[in-house]
Structure 1
């Protein structure tokens, strides 16, 4: 009887895990489809939206938005592949896992850093409108993208430079299930990664809060149309703050999961699943909400493209 109960419990647990994996695949597919549609809208060249396309290409917030969508798509795809490989216990050589880790490490920080830059852009647009065209020009956008990538690379460079000194040549040709924890050989390396993550967390939260207060002061002093525009910008910053908070909490997830792995494996599985849904998938579905649906100009262009040109409401600039 006990054996039967154990067998039934094991089958129930396996069925539950299977259901979770399928649910994640559905979510990832939906988010990838939505993000892909938004990316195509940004790059479309239809004559009806030709003016909008030029405007998207020359406006910093849309350029940063498109970069966020591209990075989110790649990040979701790679994390989902690792999830499937881990679920089926499929092993790969560590040098290939290292390449995946480098890309994921970059894009883990790229989204929150970009969100911080987008908040700064909103601050300039609302609080320094006369200098917005100068500070947020197309060339400034390109410089900003390079700076964002540079800042996002630093944690990966710091962790890997220490890892390469500790790892042996044989490590790279071993086959194992790919995991971030594979590159933390010494315990103090994990502490270093934790310190870097917390530093980024505190820095970006401080920037968001500081400029939110600045924008709020301008919003209170504004009147009429300016008040409406400023209020919309303030709500955008709030959504950025929520999205950024979820992304930054993700930086702490590996340390929580590593601690649980040593104590309770079932709890580790449940918490890891919750973290993936809440702190990886959820922040990356907020981008379409913030700019794909709330931004009137981008929404009209998106609706026109999604309906294959049947929607022909003129775009106001």
Structure 2
């Protein structure tokens, strides 16, 4: 009722302030994320030994995928905040890539868990496709599978009668191409299937490696590290799945706090889309001692703290 009694000028001013605050929260956060990711990618590019390991190659691919997903997500967010409309022919590729990169994230986690499984159980006779020089076959397969959902979305897309794909400006949101009940059902089923398969793969590799730690008397340290890595992938999967909690969180917030729908949507976007994408690569990357040491040398303020003796040792 308060919004109905406010003068139009005050309502507009309040909305503008809300938009500015949201943008000022998202942009610095994204810049910090981008700096950390670029630092990791620079570290990989500067030390070729990382590309002799399938694990690091897959991790680099995850960094690139998450960066692209975050970039597209923030770009679409800014378009919505600024009420920028443009034809569907330009909006569709952005939505396609955003959905494909989102689907790719859990698949990469599954591939990384399987890589640890292969490294433990087949250290000397690793399958050809899992070797560093052929890991691009796995990466290409993941990208093809992740494009299934957005491709079907566009095949089933039926724009409104008054919307011309080439000329009618629209607000670039998922609802523009995902308005059919069939599309919604297909999307729910596919998302559930994607995450269920990944969860099964991570659980399988965890149990097998856990059983292996009880059998092996030698090299228990590397097996234990692999076990911890798989557990971390499970945690990353849980972070990715938080994006599907929108309906639950929106219902809980509405019950306890009388917020506007746009404020609830922003809170969900920040907490369950941006934040997990930010934490996932950082938790995994900074946990790796070798990568962490090389990253410290690349940062000027940390480089001075590393003694020459320690740098030579590493």
TM-score band, normalised by shorter chain: 0.7 to 0.9
Aligned counterpart for 1:286 among listed residues 259, 262, 279? 279
- Listed as ranges, the gaps of 5+ residues in structure 1 are 45-52
1:215 aligns with 2:209: yes
Equivalent in the alignment of 1:126: 120
The 8 Å contact of residues 34 and 288 in structure 1, kept in 2 or not, is answered as no
Looking at structure 2, the residues matched to 164 and 35 of structure 1 have their Cα atoms a distance apart, in angstroms, of: 38
Q: Give the SS at the match of 2:66.
A: helix
Equivalent in the alignment of 2:25: 23
Equivalent in the alignment of 1:105: 99
1:242 aligns with 2:235: yes
Shift of 1:266: 4.3
Looking at structure 2, the residues matched to 175 and 265 of structure 1 have their Cα atoms a distance apart, in angstroms, of: 32
The 8 Å contact of residues 163 and 184 in structure 1, kept in 2 or not, is answered as yes
Aligned counterpart for 1:301 among listed residues 294, 305, 308? 294
Shift of 1:141: 0.8
Aligned counterpart for 2:151 among listed residues 157, 174, 199? 157
Looking at structure 2, the residues matched to 156 and 3 of structure 1 have their Cα atoms a distance apart, in angstroms, of: 38
The 8 Å contact of residues 292 and 302 in structure 1, kept in 2 or not, is answered as no
Shift of 1:98: 0.3
Looking at structure 2, the residues matched to 267 and 236 of structure 1 have their Cα atoms a distance apart, in angstroms, of: 41
The 8 Å contact of residues 244 and 283 in structure 1, kept in 2 or not, is answered as no
Equivalent in the alignment of 1:50: none
1:231 aligns with 2:231: no
Task: Say how many residue pairs are matched.
Answer: 303
C-alpha deviations, 1:205-252, integer Å up to 9, x for none?
Answer: 11111111112222334447x3332222222211211111221342x3
Equivalent in the alignment of 2:186: 192
Shift of 1:12: 6.4
- Listed as ranges, the gaps of 5+ residues in structure 2 are none
Shift of 1:128: 3.0
Looking at structure 2, the residues matched to 192 and 254 of structure 1 have their Cα atoms a distance apart, in angstroms, of: 18
Q: Give the SS at the match of 2:157.
A: helix
How does the TM-score come out when normalised to structure 1? 0.82
Classify 1:254/1:279 alpha carbon distance in 2 versus 1 (closer, same or farther; 3 Å).
closer
Looking at structure 2, the residues matched to 3 and 191 of structure 1 have their Cα atoms a distance apart, in angstroms, of: 36
Looking at structure 1, the residues matched to 313 and 114 of structure 2 have their Cα atoms a distance apart, in angstroms, of: 26
CA-atom RMSD in angstroms: 3.4
The 8 Å contact of residues 54 and 131 in structure 2, kept in 1 or not, is answered as yes
C-alpha deviations, 1:265-288, integer Å up to 9, x for none?
Answer: 946434422332233223322344
After TM superposition, the structure 1 stretch with the greater mean CA deviation from structure 2, 149-158 or 299-308, is 299-308
Looking at structure 1, the residues matched to 87 and 34 of structure 2 have their Cα atoms a distance apart, in angstroms, of: 28
Aligned counterpart for 1:60 among listed residues 47, 54, 58? 54
Shift of 1:192: 1.3
Looking at structure 2, the residues matched to 14 and 169 of structure 1 have their Cα atoms a distance apart, in angstroms, of: 28
Shift of 1:167: 7.9
Q: Give the SS at the match of 1:130.
A: coil
Classify 1:22/1:144 alpha carbon distance in 2 versus 1 (closer, same or farther; 3 Å).
same
Please list, as runs of the form range in 1=range in 2, the aligned pairs for 1:37-76 lying within 5 A after superposition: 37-44=39-46, 53-76=47-70
1:277 aligns with 2:277: no
Classify 1:168/1:177 alpha carbon distance in 2 versus 1 (closer, same or farther; 3 Å).
closer
